[in-house]
Structure 1
């Protein structure tokens, strides 16, 4: 029984063909295509307004150089949000519960911000490794600590997203299993457990949205340090 709880995190296969690529590409087919008409329908208007508001809030602390990342960060936010939300539906697979996928997104984007800082502002980028006014004896130790904290950033991004989604999915499945087991034995307790499951599902929806936003927000903060 304990192993079956983790079956939901296994990459789906059909006739030996992995379907994770289909799960990753599915969200893009669900969004309406922008129209060339002067007036859009309500769904397109709401979609455009949401993307514009998010992009404005995200790029507010960045300078003009960082605004080149607007399309990339907005697309990443929509992508992660869609995968997280679709993964809450029954009989679906959540690609963002895979650490390999999250690290595959986090490492290249974090590395791009570091390379931009080293290329455009090398003195400022290297200055983060040593705070001003540091005593001479602490300089080697602080450089090592700051270097480790810099290198661990993409790992923290990927692990944070994976751990939050995995824990939420496991908790939902555990409480749902408890509800089915308790239903013939203690119906009252089963009803209370089902109510708790409903509240937990609402919380998991909020977590799916917040974690996608936090992932992109931290990337924007890393970008802010290097532009």
Structure 2
């Protein structure tokens, strides 16, 4: 039973070919493209309003040097949201439940923010390792602690996204299995369980959007420290 619960997180294959490439390419097909007309339709307009709101929310408190990242972080946000939402459909695969994929997003982007800080303002970047006013006896310990916290940031980014999505998918499958098993024996309890499953699915939709937003927001905070 335990193995069957975790089978949903295994990368599917067709004739020995992994289908994760198809899952990663699918989100870009679903976005609405502006047409040749002067006036866009409602869906394109709504999508543009969301993008403008997100960019303003993320980059308003940031200096001008970080605004160059707007297109990259906006694309990452849309990509993660679409992958998380598509993974909630039946008989689908969620690539963002794979820690390796999330780390592949987190490590290079975090490393890029660190390199930018070390190149543009090395004194300020290294100053984060030692808070101002630290007693002399605590300086070595605090430097070690701050260095560990710096290098653990990409791991925290990847694990947070993976753990939240994995936990939600597992809980949905457990409750769905309970509702299916209880329906022949106790229909009333099965109906209540199905209502709980519906509410949990709505919560998981919100989690899928929020976790993508949090991932990009934390990256923007790391960038803000180094520009």
TM-score range, shorter chain: over 0.9
Secondary structure of the structure 1 residue equivalent to 2:65: helix
Secondary structure at the counterpart of residue 114 of structure 1:
helix
Could you list the structure 1 runs, at least 4 aligned residues long, displaced by more than 4 angstroms after superposition: none
- TM-score in terms of structure 2 length: 0.99
Normalising by structure 1, report the TM-score. Answer: 0.99
Q: Does 1:135 find its partner at 2:135?
A: yes
Deviation at 1:36, TM superposition (A): 3.4
**TM-aligned CA deviation for residue 61 of structure 1:** 1.2
Whole-Å separation in 1 of the counterparts to 2:111 and 2:36? 37
Post-superposition offset of 1:119:
0.1
Aligned position for 2:158: 158
Equivalence for 2:68 = 68
In structure 1, the residue corresponding to 2:2 is in which secondary structure? Answer: coil
Q: CA deviation at 1:136?
A: 0.9
Using the alignment, how far apart are the partners of 1:31 and 1:76 within structure 2? 13
Q: Which residue of 2 aligns with 1:54?
A: 54
- CA drift of 1:33 comes to 1.7
Instruction: Give the structure 2 partner of residue 34 of structure 1.
Output: 34
Structure-1 separation of matches of 2:4 and 2:60: 45
Mean Cα deviation higher: 26-35 or 14-23: 26-35
Structure-1 separation of matches of 2:127 and 2:162: 32
Shift of 1:37: 2.4
The CA RMSD measured in Å over matched residues stands at: 0.6
Return the alpha-carbon distance in structure 1 between the equivalents of residues 137 and 97 of structure 2: 43
CA distance in 2, matches of 1:215, 1:96: 12
Which residue matches 1:124? 124
Offset, 1:44: 0.7
Instruction: Determine if the alignment matches structure 1 residue 10 to structure 2 residue 10.
Output: yes
Q: Counterparts of 1:148-227 in structure 2 under 5 Å?
A: 148-227=148-227
Q: How far apart are 1:34 and its partner, in Å?
A: 2.0
SS in 1 for 2:204: helix
The aligned residue for residue 86 of structure 2 is: 86
The count of aligned residue pairs is 227
80-89 or 26-35, larger mean C-alpha shift:
26-35
CA distance in 1 between counterparts of 2:104 and 2:37 reads 38
The unaligned stretches of length 5 or more in structure 2 are none
Asked whether 1:146 is paired with 2:163, we answer no
Cα deviation digits, residues 167-218 of structure 1 (max 9, x gap): 0000000000000000001111000000000000000000000000000000
CA distance in 1, matches of 2:133, 2:50: 44
Distance in 1 (alpha carbons) for counterparts of 2:17 and 2:95? 16
Distance 1:30 1:90 in 2: 18
What is the alpha-carbon distance in structure 1 between the residues aligned to residue 40 and residue 193 of structure 2? 44
Unmatched tracts of structure 1, length 5 or more = none
